[in-house]
Amino acid sequence: MTDVAVPRRVEVDGFTYELDTVREVSPGQDVQVGTGEDVVVMLVATGLGDGSATLSTGDVALARVLAGQERSVPVTGPHGLAYVSGDLDDAPDDARIGVAVYRPTDELADGFSSDTAVFRSDTGDRRLLNAAFIQDGESSATVVVRGRLDDLTFSDYCSTTQPDLQSGYDFLAGVLLAGDRYDVSATPTTAEGRTALLVYRPV
C-alpha cells in the first residue's frame, strides 16, 4: 500500500504514536497488529469507486473509508489490539485495503504524571481540577477542590506488586459555603504502592 501516503506520527487522546508498518489486508483476513498492547491503527484503501471499506476487531467496527477517501482517522481498541480485519462493500474487484500500525512513543500527554502514569488535563468534556500521588513511605494523600459535589468526578488509580492490596478514597470534609458551593477534601488510602486520586469537573 505504498501508493497511499500516511503520516509518520499521529496523536490519539493526547498521546503521540509513531508509524511502525503499513500492511496490505485481504478482505476478511485477520491480520496481527500487536499482542493486545496499546497500538493505533489507520485503515487505508484505494480504488473503492462508489464502495467503502471497514476495519474491525472481532465484531467491533473500528474505522471506515468511504468513496473518495483513502484513509481513516487513527483509532485504537478499547483494551489494546491484537488482530484486525478489513472488509469491502460494493467496491470494484481491483480495490485494495491495508492497515497502518502505530506504536506509542515515550511522550506523555499533557496532564498530571508520575513516571509513566499520566492523567490528561482534559478528558471528554471534563477538566482535571486537582490530583495527588501517594509518595513513597506514605499511606495517604489529600487533594482539595471547590465545586458542586454533583459536578465532580472522582477517579483513583493503583499500581503495585503487592497481592490483595486495597485502595479507596474517603471524604474528609464537605462544608457548605455560600449557595451550593463546597470545599471538598478527599484522601485515597493504600498500604503500599503507587496510588493517585483525580478530581474532574465539566469544562
Residue pLDDT, tens place only, 90-109: 999 999 999 999 998 877 76
**Grid cell in block for residue 94:** 481491483
Confidence bin at 178 (pLDDT 50/70/90): very low
Which residues are 182's β-sheet partners?
Answer: 176
Look at residue 65 and tell me if it is in a domain: yes
Residue 187 CB-half CA count within 13 A: 10
Look at residue 187 and tell me if it is in a domain: yes
pLDDT at position 71 is: 95
> What does the pLDDT look like over 127-166, one tens digit per residue?
777 777 776 666 666 777 776 666 777 776 666 555 555 5
CA gyration radius, the chain? 22
Asked which of 73, 104, 135 is the last residue of a domain, the reply is: 104
More confident residue, 119 or 195: 119
Q: Tell whether 65 and 133 lie within a shared domain.
A: no
Q: Tell whether 31 and 98 lie within a shared domain.
A: yes
Q: Tell whether 115 and 193 lie within a shared domain.
A: yes
pLDDT at position 101 is: 95
How much is the mean pLDDT over the chain? 76
Which residues are 53's β-sheet partners?
Answer: 65, 88
pLDDT at position 137 is: 66
Q: What is the largest CA-CA distance in the chain?
A: 69
pLDDT at position 139 is: 64
Asked which of 104, 119, 152 is the last residue of a domain, the reply is: 104
Task: Note the pTM of the prediction, 2 decimals.
Answer: 0.64
Domain of 97, CATH number, reads 2.60.120
Confidence bin at 48 (pLDDT 50/70/90): very high
Look at residue 2 and tell me if it is in a domain: no
Report the alpha-carbon distance of residue 203 to residue 186 in Å, rounded: 21
Q: Tell whether 151 and 184 lie within a shared domain.
A: yes
Q: Specify the number of domains making up the chain.
A: 2
Q: Tell whether 127 and 152 lie within a shared domain.
A: yes
